[in-house]
Chain A
Amino acid sequence: QKEVEQDPGPLSVPEGAIVSLNCTYSNSAFQYFMWYRQYSRKGPELLMYTYSSGNKEDGRFTAQVDKSSKYISLFIRDSQPSDSATYLCAMMGTSYDKVIFGPGTSLSVIP
């Protein structure tokens, strides 16, 4: 079993839809959770960074962490064509030894 699993998609939604992206993980030591956005042929860029369980909101983006279920989500409200990208979840334990990335979910928002 991989440490971090993520549905690769592709996920295709109409403009304005609410998008839900998810990751599951197996290591209960993970405490820091991140979402990166990666446009085609570009490097990843950080979208959201959360610690432990709970929700964090930033504009149209909400990150949710459920440590009891080892499950994290990223919600995108009022999705735009500019949101079309691959979304990578990532996580790290308190020992900060390394960041583990999920394989990414490809999202297309159709105008």
Chain B
Amino acid sequence: NAGVTQTPKFRVLKTGQSMTLLCAQDMNHEYMYWYRQDPGMGLRLIHYSVGEGTTAKGEVPDGYNVSRLKKQNFLLGLESAAPSQTSVYFCASSYSRRDTQYFGPGTRLTVL
């Protein structure tokens, strides 16, 4: 049981470049989430999904898109990266909205 895995672990982008972060979970969870963590700001929800084929906006969705084509995978896309998107990105999953969220190890993204 790998739990929640994230790919890649680190990435450096130039302003304007695009990339996709992949999150995978093997716990058969319905709910999946993407957060960003910045110093002094805590974890902020970017987008989330309540099941395969669904997505919804969180607190800070601008500049990001997501897709949940398969139940076990949740993709986060940056179409045109900006320095303000330099952050640590965490994916999480849970069985239901009220249940424990299990977090992945994070992706450290730097946008120059």
Interface residues of A (CB under 8 A from B): 4, 6, 8, 32, 41-46, 49, 88, 90, 92, 96, 98-99, 101-104
B42 contacts A4, CB within 8 Å? yes
Cβ-closest 7 pairs across A and B: A43-B103, A96-B97, A101-B43, A103-B42, A101-B42, A46-B100, A44-B103
Interface residues of B (CB under 8 A from A): 4, 40-45, 48, 58-59, 90, 92, 97-98, 100-106
Residue pairs across A and B with CB atoms within 8 Å: the count is 44
Given A88-B43, A98-B58, A43 contacting B98 (CB threshold 8 A) = no
Report the separation of the CA atoms of residues A41 and B102 in the bound assembly, to the nearest whole angstrom: 16
Report the separation of the CA atoms of residues A44 and B59 in the bound assembly, to the nearest whole angstrom: 19
Cβ–Cβ < 8 Å partners of B105 in chain A:
41-43
A98 contacts B59, CB within 8 Å? yes
Closest to B105 in A: A43
B106 contacts A96, CB within 8 Å? no
9 A-B interface contacts by CB (under 8 A): A4-B42, A6-B42, A8-B40, A41-B106, A43-B92, A44-B103, A45-B102, A46-B101, A104-B42
A99 contacts B101, CB within 8 Å? yes
Closest to B58 in A: A98
Report the separation of the CA atoms of residues A4 and B42 in the bound assembly, to the nearest whole angstrom: 10
Report the separation of the CA atoms of residues A87 and B102 in the bound assembly, to the nearest whole angstrom: 15
